[in-house]
């Protein structure tokens, strides 16, 4: 094309924006891999100094990192690996012990599926992870993203890994206007054009690191980005607008009540059903969480305003309502819990499903975060117990 063939509008566009798409595809990987060689984050599950990645460590970290931050996962990963250094060791562990070790990480279905996956790998695959996407995706708890991450990072397969950080980088790199989550297929298609045939695992981790440390959600450090010359959003000045997001729907609020029953240094806890929210975890007995905004009408009333709750108590006792509410946010709803306390001398709870747990052993039990909040609301000194982890 001659200069005369370019329109005035063409010449007025930023230089970056006039580059052909294939230039981005060919240039992004070499630039990012060079940057990664100098700036890669040091993470406990990441192979260093050219060593081969451990598939078990890669899988374990990817399961833990789903919906959870790197800072939170680090100590859990180290603890799991020390306690169960191989996938066979994890497969042989009792599920209760795995759930206890997972307590506090949230999204507890991940722990159940992780344990089931370890058993499947141990029994059906001789303790070896499948290397292909199809084999990995057939295992419990491994979806398309995790399968791609393991295939690329652990086995060097050409697989495109798209997590939240990568979504943000790609949405800006291609200046994708479609809002999330509708943009996910478009973002993935664009990301696939960037994935190199060689060093796909390093490239995936480079993209993750770039999103975590440079192309951050707010105030991206474009001046430090190794591919800013390829970035359409940077060229157009739309970095802060990408990725676009559809307006969030307001979360509903649910409410309920819990009953903190103690006996001679013990507290009565029960196990939740294996399936469903917080499945398999321990809980303080209480009502279902289905009363909508009930606390907004009864929380300032006397205890007689909780007649709906008492049938769910472990036993008849002199229940005392503790002022205030325990609040917790789940993915799809916010929760408000009233907490009642009582003490008993009874060792057996008629018809009660549960067990007495020593208070000084609470830190070792599979109590989810919301129930730890309940414990600290009922007994403020419980906070010190959970630091024994």
Q: How far apart are CA 172 and CA 227, in angstroms?
A: 11
Q: How far apart are CA 72 and CA 69, in angstroms?
A: 5
Report the relative pairing of strands 320-321 and 282-283 from DSSP bridges.
Answer: unpaired
Best CA proximity match to 105, nearest among 77, 139, 82: 77
| Residue where the block lists tokens 């359409």 | 232
Helix (H, G, I), strand (E, B) or coil at 198: coil
Count of beta carbons in the 10 Å neighbourhood of residue 97 = 15
| Residue where the block lists tokens 């007995």 | 285
- Between vectors from CA 180 to CA 136 and to CA 149, what angle results, nearest 5°? 20
Q: How far apart are CA 116 and CA 107, in angstroms?
A: 15
Q: How far apart are CA 35 and CA 184, in angstroms?
A: 26
Structure tokens at 373: 């909040």
Q: How far apart are CA 286 and CA 87, in angstroms?
A: 36
Best CA proximity match to 328, nearest among 298, 265, 284: 284
Whether 203 contacts 35, CB under 8 Å: no
Q: How far apart are CA 173 and CA 231, in angstroms?
A: 4
CA distances from 197 to 23, 47, 258, 262, 266 (A): 16, 20, 55, 61, 58
Query: Would you give the DSSP letter of residue 51?
Result: P
| Residue where the block lists tokens 């609470």 | 362
365 part of the active site: no
Structure tokens at 389: 């982890």
From 22, 25, 62, 381, the catalytic residue: 62
Whether 173 contacts 230, CB under 8 Å: yes
Q: How far apart are CA 389 and CA 378, in angstroms?
A: 20
User: Hey, which residues are catalytic here?
Assistant: 62
């Amino acid at each position: 094309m001659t200069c005369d063939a370019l329109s005035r509008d063409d010449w007025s566009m930023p230089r970056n924006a006039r580059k052909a798409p294939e230039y981005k595809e060919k240039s992004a990987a070499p630039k990012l891999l060079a940057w990664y060689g100098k700036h890669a984050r040091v993470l406990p599950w990441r192979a260093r100094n050219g060593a081969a990645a451990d598939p078990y460590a890669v899988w374990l970290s990817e399961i833990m990192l789903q919906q959870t931050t790197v800072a939170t996962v680090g100590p859990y990963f180290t603890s799991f690996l020390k306690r169960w250094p191989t996938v066979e060791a994890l497969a042989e562990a009792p599920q209760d012990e795995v759930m206890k070790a997972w307590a506090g990480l949230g999204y507890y279905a991940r722990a159940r599926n992780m344990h089931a996956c370890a058993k499947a790998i141990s029994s059906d695959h001789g303790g070896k992870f499948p290397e292909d996407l199809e084999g990995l995706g057939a295992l419990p708890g491994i979806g398309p993203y995790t399968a791609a991450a393991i295939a690329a990072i652990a086995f060097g397969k050409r697989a495109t890994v798209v997590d939240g950080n990568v979504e943000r980088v790609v949405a800006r790199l291609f200046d994708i206007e479609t809002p999330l989550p509708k943009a996910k297929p478009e973002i993935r298609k664009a990301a696939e054009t960037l994935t190199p045939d060689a060093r796909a695992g390093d490239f995936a981790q480079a993209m993750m690191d770039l999103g975590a440390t440079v192309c951050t959600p707010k105030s991206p450090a474009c001046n430090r980005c190794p591919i800013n010359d390829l970035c359409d959003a940077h060229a157009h000045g739309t970095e802060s607008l990408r990725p676009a997001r559809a307006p969030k729907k307001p979360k509903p609020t649910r409410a309920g009540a819990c009953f903190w029953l103690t006996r001679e240094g013990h507290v009565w806890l029960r196990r939740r059903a294996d399936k469903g929210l917080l499945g398999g975890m321990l809980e303080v007995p209480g009502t279902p969480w289905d009363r909508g905004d009930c606390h907004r009408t009864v929380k300032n009333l006397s205890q007689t305003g909780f007649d709906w709750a008492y049938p769910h108590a472990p036993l008849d006792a002199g229940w005392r309502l503790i002022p205030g509410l325990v609040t917790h946010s789940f993915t799809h709803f916010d929760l408000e819990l009233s907490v009642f306390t009582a003490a008993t001398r009874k060792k057996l709870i008629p018809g009660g499903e549960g067990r007495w747990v020593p208070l000084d052993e609470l830190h070792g039990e599979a109590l989810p975060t919301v129930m730890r909040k309940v414990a600290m609301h009922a007994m403020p000194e419980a906070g010190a117990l959970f630091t024994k982890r």
